[in-house]
Amino acid sequence: MDLAAFYAKYPRAQVDEAVAYLSYHTATDLPKNEDPKHQILYVFRHGQTTDNADFVFSGWRDAELTQKGIDQAKILAQKLKTKNIHMLVASDQKRAIQTMELALALNDFANKLEIHKDPRIKERCYGDLQGKSKLEMQLTDPVKELEYRRSYSVRPPNGESIEDVVKRVTSFITEIIPLMKLYKLNVAVSCHGNSIRGFRQYFEHLSNDQTASVETPLAQDYAAYSVE
């Protein structure tokens, strides 16, 4: 991202601090409960996109993976190449589908599977904020920026709250679990920074505040949940 325009408009230290804040350095380790006696749900976030790199509210925009995002998914592929995976589900957004393709490319069985698309696990709709700069908002109104991004129940204008996203993700989870049990399926899911919050709340029993504040790294790693 070219920061020259921001450095010209704001103090350099303020810009650098805002960039650091928006760079997800506080991402938490992902749980890996891979009990061989149960079916396993593998969940991961897509790789970095152009919108991520430029600190843009992406939401339902179809941003492309950057080279860094592609490389992140290839790191994930090394971790998933020996996993016994029977079904692939991605959101219906390009970045999640492309990440799934890259992440399972080395898995000799899973890379031949159809990728099912489900809009319930797509990214949060940011409404009127989509396409706008997170960095600009962080520099001009950090309180509002934090409220829109990390409040559990606040909706941006014409958009969704995290709570709204969690509800549709929970609908997906409660539908996929019986199928996993019935047909003995291990499932891989490629989703987004906000939709993965729904998975983490459900399986890790997070509070609403924890769900809104938890950060998940872009691709590179996965969460594994045993379905009992």
Residues 122-159 pLDDT 10s: 999 999 999 999 999 999 999 999 899 889 999 999 99
- CA atoms of 170 and 165, how far apart (whole Å): 9
Which residue ranges make up each domain of the chain? 4-227
In 51-134, beta strands by DSSP E? 87-90, 115-117
pLDDT over 90, % of the chain: 93
CATH class of 4-227: alpha beta
The CA-CA-CA angle for residues 61, 190, 174, to 5°, reads 105
Known binding-site positions for substrate: 45-52, 95, 123-126, 134, 149-150, 193-194
Residues 25-39 pLDDT 10s: 677 789 999 999 999
Residues marked active site are found at: 46, 123
Residues 64-87 pLDDT 10s: 999 999 999 999 999 999 999 999
User: Which residues have C-beta within 8 Å of that of residue 182, sequence separation ≥ 6?
Assistant: none
pLDDT over 70, % of the chain: 99
Neighbours of 138 (CB within 10 A): 21
Average pLDDT over residues 213-220: 93
pLDDT at residue 188 greater than cutoff 80: yes
Residue, of 24 and 157, whose pLDDT is higher: 157
Known binding-site positions: 45-52, 95, 123-126, 134, 149-150, 193-194
User: Which residues have C-beta within 8 Å of that of residue 3, sequence separation ≥ 6?
Assistant: 15, 19
Predicted local distance difference test score (pLDDT) of residue 21: 86
Q: Is residue 188 within 8 Å of 42, Cβ to Cβ? A: yes
Average pLDDT over residues 173-195: 98
What is the DSSP secondary-structure string of 188-205? Answer: EEEE-TTHHHHHHHHHHT
What torsion, rounded to 10 degrees, do the Cα atoms 57, 60, 65, 71 define? 90
